[in-house]
Amino acid sequence: MTTLWAREGGLPQLPAGLRLGVDRGFQGSAQAAPPLVVFQPRKKPRGGRLPKWAQDLNRLTAKVRVLAEHASGGVKRLRCLTDVDRNRRKPLADRLMVVGCRLWNLHVQQA
Q: Is the pLDDT of residue 95 over 50?
A: yes
Residue 1 has a pLDDT of 46
Residue 12 is given by DSSP the state P
Q: Residue 96's closest CA among 75, 76, 74, 81?
A: 81
Greater confidence, 2 or 9?
A: 9
Residue in 71, 66, 65 with CA at minimum distance from that of residue 19: 65
3-state secondary structure of 77: coil
> pTM for the complete prediction?
0.56
* pLDDT of res. 56: 92
Condensed to tens digits (0 to 9), the pLDDT of residues 14-59 reads 677 776 676 666 666 556 666 667 677 888 888 999 899 989 988 8
In sequence order, the 6+-apart residues with CB closer than 8 A to the CB of 87 are: 93
Q: Has residue 70 got a pLDDT over 80?
A: yes
Which among 48, 3, 39 is positioned nearest to 18, based on CA atoms?
Answer: 39
Q: Is 82 exposed, middle or buried (0-12, 13-18, 19+ CB in 10 A)?
A: exposed
Q: Among residues of the chain, what percentage have pLDDT more than 90?
A: 5
